[in-house]
Chain A
Amino acid sequence: MRLKVILAAIVVVVVVVLAVIWQSSRSAPTALPSVIELTNLPDHYCPTTAAVMVTDLVVTKPQVIFDSSEPVVSCRQIELKNLLGLGNTSRFVLVKLPMAVAFRLQVDSATGHYDSAPSLGDVNGDNIIDTVDEQQVNSALLTADAALIKKDDIDQDGQVSVLDLGLTRINRRAGVDRPDGKSWSLQ
């Protein structure tokens, strides 16, 4: 009797889990293949290029396979087909976007789809979001100076506002360093 109950319970659980998975998959948008999708970014934020590196999976002194600037398609996608050295071998891809700290993700296939949510707030381009960035944005709040807006308008909505200031406060962190010890060229 106990076995029957356990089996019934297992069946119930499997049905519920399958139902949840089915429901989730029905509502999930279709994922594009062969891209790194940049997610959870402000609506107006539209980077045109990103600094991209591809390395092997060695953490200490990795071999750099690719190091170049890549176009960001439709403001949100970095196409994997352009990245040399990606096949079906697992690689690290390092990405540095303007106003964001660099991030790293493991890519196992050039035909896969990968999501990443970059952290915005690095207005001085040192790959760290800290009080220096906060102070820089703070001093430019509500400015009408076009040069300052270009420099400190993180979310690219046309004004240096509390939204930009907030990004420098909630995203306090350091980005991934380049394996060769150099500075990221794209700010």
Chain B
Amino acid sequence: MSRISVSTRTAFILACVVTIILIAGSAILSRIVFKAATSSATVYFNPSAPVVKTGEVTDVDVLTNFGAAAELVGAQLSVKYDPQLLSYVDVVPATNWQVIKATPESGQLEVIELPISQTSQSLRAGQPVALATLRFRAVAAGQSTLSFDPASTIIATTDSSLGHSIDNSLASVQDAQVSTGTLSLADQAANAQVRLDAASQTASGSVASQRIAGDQALLAPETALILVSLQQPARLTVRFGPTKALSNTVSYATLAAQAAVKINGLKPGERYYYQVVAGTSDGASQTLGQLKSFQLPLVSTQTTVDHASLTIFPAQTDVATNAYALFYDADGKIITGLEPKFSADNSAVGFGSLSEQTGLYQAPLNATATSKAIVSAKLTLGDQELASASVLIDPNLNTAPSPTVLSAVTIDQKTINLLLALVGALLVFGLAFLKLSRAR
């Protein structure tokens, strides 16, 4: 067997080259990872449906779960409960945490916590972390909702790579139903069964959390399309209205992990508030998204397009998804009455008939691909290409065991090109190295 000998200088240069390529590659990949997973946190109770006899005390753990790794600086929990049924007893901090302030006032408990020894606690993505245990005494029989006030609850995180700032990473909260009264063992068993049905069990036996992984609003003059991605399938509702009272409701018909909820009949130029609510099928538990708002654009009187947007949702599909387009003039107003075209760079993908609803253009995207593929879709008007977007076609998507939601991943065509260039460069480098080794 012949031995390959490489001089020290060559080896040094090769090591430098490989290092630089890996650094460049990791920089590119980190950009994608940051797009895919932001540090959105959900806060929830465990158990989600506790049962307690009148006069006895029940412990309810407060946990948080992050969509990405995070540095947790502190937590402010604003918990609402029915003071007619429950009486606050105590709050016990989780290990390595300290309670700075706890103020129970007429059905609302405010708790502020900080890490004990360090200024922050490093958390891994997807790992539930206990913050505190709340202790309540049942004072009367009935059912009380234990809920977080999303407007006052704060999960404070920091990102040292971005300087010295702090953000509220809270994206969603999940409430619990407390049953109080003179319950028999049979009642307790029945309620426990409800609890198990309401939330799936993890391998460790703890109750898994729901998370609103993302919600995005596509805005036309009279229509808002709320694109929602959840960690687990749920019954979706969007509460909305011109004030924070959220007087109106739109519900999604079926249990879904991803849904495009359309709100029609809105007034152009007006501001609306909305909140995404994900509920379990039996209504035992709800996850509330943050209160958000949008201002609808106005209808343009022009026909000259300044720029356009193309959104494909869900961005990962097995056979069918939808493409949405909006066209803007130079003032940001929506142009109606256009005849755009959707196309794809893969013959296995086709678009159905185009429809328009006051400036919101929509077409179904159907895929017949037999293997996994990333397809680039383009939006054109006349001969001009105005926008592009990528969609992952995966025929095995619905048979995959993991319910991981990837709709938040938006990889544009340039990034794909760059990744392909990087892979190609590595291939060329490998071939050159192989040739060198043979030449020696």
Interface hit among A52-60, A64-72, A158-166, A178-186: A158-166
Please pick, from A10, A16, A138, the residue contacting B422 in the complex, using a CB distance under 8 A: A16
Question: CB within 8 Å of B: which of A1-51?
Answer: 1-2, 4-6, 8-10, 12-13, 15-17, 19-20, 23, 26, 39-42
B33 at the interface (CB under 8 A from A): no
Shortest Cβ distance from B433 into A: residue: A5
Contact present for B163 and A40 (CB under 8 Å) = yes
Given A5-B432, A166-B73, also A171-B164 (CB < 8 A): yes
Interface hit among B154-162, B187-195, B309-317, B342-350:
B154-162
Q: List A contacts of B101 (CB < 8 A).
A: 138, 141-142
Give A139's nearest chain B residue, CB to CB: B101
Cross-chain contact B158 with A166 (CB below 8 angstroms): yes
Contact indicator A40/B164 (Cβ below 8 Å): yes
Q: Which residue of B lies closest to A12 (CB)?
A: B425
Pick from B10-18, B175-183, B250-258 the stretch touching chain A.
Answer: B10-18
Q: Say if the beta carbon of B129 comes within 8 Å of chain A.
A: no
Is B418 within 8 A of A19, CB to CB?
A: yes
Bound-complex Cα distance A167 to B166 (A): 7
Task: Report whether A163 and B415 are in contact in the complex, using a CB–CB cutoff of 8 Å.
Answer: no
Expressed in whole angstroms, the minimum distance between the Cβ of B114 and any Cβ of chain A is 7
Indicate whether B367 reaches chain A with its CB closer than 8 angstroms. Answer: no
Segment of B19-27, B55-63, B297-305 engaged in the interface with chain A: B19-27
How close is B162's CB to chain A, nearest CB, in angstroms?
5
Q: Which of B13, B17, B76, B164 contacts A162 (CB 8 A)?
A: B76
| A170 contacts B by Cβ under 8 Å | yes
Task: List A contacts of B279 (CB < 8 A).
Answer: none
CA distance A178 to B439 in the complex (A): 66
Residue B75 is within 8 A (CB to CB) of chain A in the complex: yes
Q: Which of A12, A40, A138 contacts B21 (CB 8 A)?
A: A12
Question: A102 on the interface (CB 8 Å rule)?
Answer: no
Contact with A along B81-122 (1 / 0, CB 8 A): 000000000000000000011010000001011100001100
**Does A151 make an interface contact (CB < 8 A)?**
no
Interface size class for chain B? 35 or more
Q: Does B428 contact A (CB under 8 A)?
A: yes
A155's nearest neighbour on chain B, judged by CB, is B166
In the bound complex, residues from chain B placing their C-beta under 8 Å from that of A10 are 17
Return the contact of A16 from the options B13, B120, B165, B421 (Cβ within 8 A).
B421
User: Who on chain B is nearest to A8 by CB?
Assistant: B432
Q: How far is the CB of A29 from chain B (nearest CB, A)?
A: 15
Bound state CA distance, A6 and B433, in angstroms?
9
Task: Name the interface residues of B138-162: CB closer than 8 Å to any CB of A.
Answer: 154, 156, 158, 162
- A155: chain B residues at CB < 8 Å are 166
Judge if B28 is at the interface, Cβ distance under 8 Å.
Answer: yes
Residues of B with C-beta under 8 A to A120:
164-165
The one of A2, A17, A141 that contacts B112, using a Cβ cutoff of 8 Å: A141
In the bound complex, residues from chain B placing their C-beta under 8 Å from that of A8 are 428-429, 432
Decide yes or no whether B414 CB sits under 8 A from chain A.
Answer: yes
Which residues of A, 137-158, contact B by the 8 Å Cβ criterion? 138, 141-142, 155
Against A, the Cβ 8 Å flags (1 = close, 0 = not) of B15-58 are 00100110011011001000000000000000000000000000
A169 at the interface (CB under 8 A from B): yes
State whether the Cβ of A119 lies closer than 8 Å to any Cβ in chain B: yes
- B114: chain A residues at CB < 8 Å are 162, 165-166, 169
Please indicate the chain B residues that have their CB under 8 angstroms from the CB of A13 in the complex: 17, 20-21
Contact A162 B439 (CB under 8 A): no
Contact with A along B113-139 (1 / 0, CB 8 A): 110000110000000000000000000
Q: For chain B, residues 400 to 440, give those with C-beta under 8 angstroms from any C-beta of chain A.
A: 414-415, 418, 421-422, 425, 428-429, 432-433, 435-436, 439
Q: Which residues of A contact B110 (CB under 8 A)?
A: 142
Q: Is B168 an interface residue (CB 8 A)?
A: yes
With contact pairs A141-B100, A165-B74 given, residues A23 and B166 touching in the complex (Cβ less than 8 Å): no
Identify A20's interface contact among B28, B100, B165, B432, CB under 8 A: B28
Q: Which residue of A lies closest to B20 (CB)?
A: A13
- Contact (Cβ within 8 A) A9 B74: no
Known: A162-B73, A163-B166. 20 other contacts (CB 8 A): A5-B436, A9-B14, A16-B24, A17-B20, A17-B24, A19-B24, A20-B27, A23-B28, A23-B418, A40-B164, A41-B165, A42-B165, A141-B112, A142-B103, A142-B112, A162-B154, A162-B156, A163-B154, A166-B73, A169-B119
**28 sampled A-B residue pairs with Cβ under 8 A:** A1-B439, A8-B432, A9-B14, A12-B17, A12-B425, A13-B17, A15-B421, A16-B25, A16-B421, A16-B425, A17-B20, A17-B24, A19-B422, A42-B166, A117-B163, A118-B164, A119-B164, A141-B112, A161-B112, A162-B76, A162-B114, A163-B76, A165-B100, A166-B114, A166-B119, A170-B73, A170-B120, A170-B158
